[in-house]
Structure 1
Amino acid sequence: MASPNLTELVTTTLRSRTKQLADNVTKQTALLNRLNSKGRVKPVSGGRTIVQELEYAENSTYQRYSGYETLNISPSDVFSAAEYDWKQASVAVTISGLEQIQNAGPERIIDLLESRISNAEKTMTNNIGADVYSDGTADGGKQIGGMQLLVSDAPAGTTVGGISAATWAFWRNVAFSSVTDGGGAATTANIQSYMNRVWVQLVRNADKPDLIVADNNYWRLYLESLQAIQRITSISDPASAGFSSLKYMTADVVLDGGFGGSAPVNHMYFVNTDYLFYRPSRERNMVVEDGDRVPVNQDAIVKLIQFAGNATCSNRSLQGVLKA
């Protein structure tokens, strides 16, 4: 006989794990893990769009003067905002009437639910992890706008957060092609030279990249370029814990590829995480929806784990990519 409290069992079992799921998503990619450790995971309460404030210019009234010379006190327009659309995702956990009968008894039902919830968590984690490296075009633009959008291969041709980089030069990230700009495909011999050329374009006084994420190929090339001098991997930064990490200048160089990795092939992103954010909804950050979904023409119960949010950037000019 099916448990009369099955709906409650499904709901409470899911809800006891959704906060864990939200935390786990940020821990499963080096990029989100670093954003979380830097306090750059900033939930959003609501709104038509996700608004990310930014500074796009310096104060224009700076002047050198002498004595009684008239000073410039004109107002300066230095702030603006980028607007990012909400992106939504869900994973369904279902159990049919027949499965309730076949798994009668609390222990058996819990075993079945645990297996399906575990699978749903992996599905959500893997897909969000992939989306943070995307260009946001999958499923008709319903995908999170990830690194391939925020730190584009063709920065002058992108519109991000409603701001056209073709019109506004301050909104263009740095992009360096090993073949086009460097003169040859990246190798163990030249990878550090190419990284140097990207790095120098991203340093602004104390501002500099603190994280470099790479796919398998570029991370291996960098590793092999260091092995001749026996460079030791860095494990001092807890934000890199669990990820294969090297050092370049002051930044961690992290493998965000590996088996099933989502970093695009032959890419290395130079990230200044002071200006990059993961913005989940406060109300839909891997939460279980309220109420029951019972299909009118099926003997089943469905529960959805739901996400809404996006990735945002407040300064693209201090982000860079080394690509093939």
Structure 2
Amino acid sequence: MNVTALTRTKILPGITDQIGKDLALFRRLWGKAQRISGGRKIEQVVKYAQSTQGGWYAKSDTLDAAQEDTMCRAYFDWRAIHQPIVLFNLDIAMNRGPEGVFDLVRTEGQNAMLDLKDKVGTAMFTAQTGNAMDSLVDACDDGSNVSNYGDISRSSFTWWKGNYNGTGGSLSLSMLATQYDLCRSGSDVSTILVTDKTRWTAYEALLQPQARYTGTNNIDGGFQTLYFRGTPMIDDEYVTAGYFYFLSKIRDLFTTLQRFFLWLLCPEKVSLSL
């Protein structure tokens, strides 16, 4: 009996992604993103100086009445990303009915989503070029690699510089402590630390066995977490090797339009959105 001729091949459901990476930080940022209704640009008011006007006064003193600029705006352009899904009408027709084990349109849509996520993950840790979105490399730099951010020149306005340290060297607790202190102001401290897998593992090795606490429920998404000074530290596969990011106010790091979706119109409507 010819089993090959009489037996179908079993196709397992879903797509097994063998080359994709986990977007550990993006998932957290996306969940806390600011979703706004519209606007030509993203604008952020920035206070860059303390006022020299005002002060203590006594009866009959003349009070300061001069105006003084202490704020400006950072401007960011909206960025859009797409992933083509190219399907032949005949292929869609042949995929219908019981002969179509899995919906071709939906499966290709899922595949396109994986490609979109990979592009976003790469862009998050790559200095902005062309039409790509602004990255953490742009946001955290001090002018050494990215001279302008949000249409503000870091060479002209030093208060816009990030706490960038490009000296390198072996990872140590004192190195982390120094950078952590540079990125804090009173109780305003880093709320999450992000690095690559190698540096994350190296930090784990620096800890005393009793201090190696790995949690899975304290960070959105359930990924493994270490802690430094009570701040969660995660690894992200898209982080450039050797980089460590000290981030705070992560709700302000991602902004999206509420109703910006990419629609695929086929026999059934499949919504793909980022």
Scaled to the shorter chain, the TM-score interval is 0.7 to 0.9
Per-residue deviation, 1:107: 7.5
Q: Does 1:244 align with 2:235?
A: no
Q: Does 1:96 align with 2:88?
A: yes
Q: Which has the higher strand share?
A: 1
Q: Is contact 2:143-2:155 (8 Å) kept? A: no
Q: Is contact 2:34-2:252 (8 Å) kept? A: no
Q: 2:163 aligns with which of 174, 177, 186?
A: 174
1:31 is matched with: 25
Q: 2:75 aligns with which of 83, 88, 91?
A: 83
Specify whether residues 88 and 306 from structure 1 end up closer, same or farther in structure 2 by C-alpha distance, changes over 3 A only.
Answer: farther
1:145 is matched with: 134
Per-residue deviation, 1:153: 6.5
1:60 is matched with: 52
Q: Give the alignment's TM-score, normalised by structure 1.
A: 0.68
Q: Is contact 1:132-1:146 (8 Å) kept? A: yes
Q: Is contact 1:44-1:50 (8 Å) kept? A: no
Secondary structure of 2:46's counterpart equals strand
1:19 is matched with: none
Which has the higher relative contact order, 1 or 2, with Cα contacts under 8 A spaced 6 or more apart? Answer: 1
Percent of aligned positions that are identical: 21
Q: Is contact 1:82-1:162 (8 Å) kept? A: yes
Secondary structure of 2:83's counterpart equals strand
Q: Distance in 1 between the 2:227 and 2:272 partners?
A: 38
Per-residue deviation, 1:204: 1.2
Per-residue deviation, 1:116: 0.8
After superposition, give the CA deviation of every residue in 1:176-221 in whole Å (9 maximum; x if it has no partner): 2344xxxxx224xxx2111111111122122111111001222122
Gaps of 5+ in 1: 1-27, 180-184, 293-302, 308-324
Gaps of 5+ in 2: 1-21
Q: Give the alignment's TM-score, normalised by structure 2.
A: 0.79
2:110 is matched with: 118
Q: 1:270 aligns with which of 246, 251, 256?
A: 246
Q: Is contact 2:143-2:154 (8 Å) kept? A: no
Per-residue deviation, 1:128: 1.3
Equivalences for 1:1-324 in 2 at 5 Å? 29-36=23-30, 39=32, 41-66=33-58, 68-105=60-97, 108=100, 111-137=103-129, 141-152=130-141, 154-155=143-144, 157-179=146-168, 185-187=169-171, 191-239=172-220, 241-256=221-236, 261-273=237-249, 276-284=252-260, 286-288=261-263, 305=272
Please give the root-mean-square deviation of Cα atoms over the aligned residues, in Å: 3.0
Q: Is contact 1:210-1:250 (8 Å) kept? A: no
Secondary structure of 2:82's counterpart equals strand
Q: Which has the higher helix share?
A: 1
How many residues end up aligned between the 2 structures? 253
